[in-house]
Amino acid sequence: MDYQLIIRPAQIPAGSHLISWPGSPLLDALDVPLLAEMRAAGEGDARFGCAPFARITLIPQEAWQERATDALPVRLRALLKAPVSDTLVLDCTLLAAGGVRDGALRALFNLDHRLSDLKLMTSCPQERRVAALFAYCLPQQEASLAESLRLQHAVAAGMLAARRLADLPADLCTPQFVVEQATRLTADSPALRCEVLDETAIREQGLGLLHAVGKGAGCPPRLLAIHYDGASGGPVRSYVGKGVTFDTGGLWLKEGAGMYTMKYDMCGAANVLGLMLSIARLALPVRAMGVLALAENAIGPNAMQPGSVARACNGMTVEINNTDAEGRLVLADAIAWASRQHPQSRYIIDIATLTGAVVKALGYDLSGLMTQDEGLRAALTAAGLKSGDEVWSLPLDARLKPQTASRIADLCNTPTNNAAISASAAWLLHHFCSPEIPWAHLDVSGTALWREEGHSVASGRPIPLLVQHLLDDLRGEVGFVEAGSDS
């Protein structure tokens, strides 16, 4: 979707859809008789008698300013599923810096992806799309809004790439397919390069947990590292994504209803890919690495068995007492591998659709944050509030140690008492990050999908959170000046 910033009524294209609010000062300059009646009513939606516009929608002021429920982005997505014009004029006078504004702009840019784009229907309807966004504001808001548009367009580009990949059926989106798509998507950026470990290299480098999860499938596992060299030096910021391209539960077989959405068990990896694309598009002056731990958890003659023991690349052994707790296994190896690659990393953040328990605790709007690094906890929490992609902390300390105790190995992958499932998984993971590196775990089981009208689709979260966190970190570290500014 293209976008343009406008500050004068003469710049508004005829036949567009105007979305505004009743008290907007921008409406005073528009000669549309119907507007007076709509403004008096406090809201409205008209497709007739609103020339030169094709449609005018007035959304109440409180919806523009409500942060907690994502009211404005939700209304915009619903409103524009079947647009009457391919040109949208958005009144931005009420969109204050951060939060609501960012969410609204991202929601609009994310309209560029629909399930029909996957071209899996024999007859796809010709759907009208919003092709151009005109952001209409007061002159004094122009500079701030221009930077937000640039930033959110780049963030949405990464989200769109992640969503398109995650929405594909698992028989198409295999570990090797993800590698091929990542290689294709990163080819246009000279600052990005891909490093791939196939099943042989995975074994040779001692990633026994990733191997254990993937060895039962006909599609072998992969470890993909995407390197971003936007600076010649400085610490590397690392992101690790769970990429279980389909999760049957293995020999600990899921029931059918629980298996239906398991093609989305690779959203963590897809979002790490999208994050790296957003970072490159913004040309941020930083070194970063995204690690995608890719495997299919399948049933087969070689599938891992409950009670087996596997060794990670940092030497630690894990008793696999539940083959449906495979995500923490692939993540553990990838975190350990990332620690080994860059022992002076500024931080490692992993992203995973890891536990249903986090959904029971936090619902579908908040991602679970678990870390023992208070600085990282505070920074991610602040970035969540600023971006509108929020997190909520769960405890992580030595009281969880019995939850991962094993009598035969260093650790077991699930607690036998079925308690503190989300935090117990994080407690296991923390053993695989070097103690010198700040580490945080994001459980996005509730937030990695949008749930609307009874259907689930990939959301692209927490890419907005992680981009905001990176920007905040850069500003704090080096007095960062945002790319594209004049100063």
Q: Are 136 and 146 in contact (CB under 8 A)?
A: no
**Residue 349: both structure tokens together:** 């953040």
Q: Are 38 and 46 in contact (CB under 8 A)?
A: yes
Helix (H) or strand (E) holding 288: strand 287-297
The CA distance from 342 to 416, in Å, is 34
Given the residues 55, 263, 328, 386, the one annotated as active site: 328
The CA distance from 216 to 477, in Å, is 45
Count the Cβ atoms, other than its own, within 10 Å of residue 292.
30
Given the residues 67, 114, 129, 254, the one annotated as active site: 254
Secondary-structure breakdown of the chain: helix, strand, coil percentages, each rounded to the nearest 5: 40, 20, 40
Place of tokens 């990542």: 182
Question: Which three-class secondary structure state does DSSP give residue 229?
Answer: strand
- Is 328 a catalytic site residue? yes
The CA distance from 473 to 409, in Å, is 38
- Is 263 a catalytic site residue? no
Question: Which three-class secondary structure state does DSSP give residue 431?
Answer: coil
Helix (H) or strand (E) holding 162: helix 142-166
Chain centroid offset of residue 34 CA: 41
**Residue 303: both structure tokens together:** 């599938």
Q: Are 437 and 376 in contact (CB under 8 A)?
A: no
Chain centroid offset of residue 120 CA: 24
DSSP 8-46: SGGGSPTTPEEEE-TT-GGGGG---HHHHHHHHHT-EEE
Sheet (strand 317-320) strand order: 308-311, 317-320, 411-412
Q: Is 411 exposed, middle or buried (0-12, 13-18, 19+ CB in 10 A)?
A: buried
Residues catalogued as catalytic = 254, 328
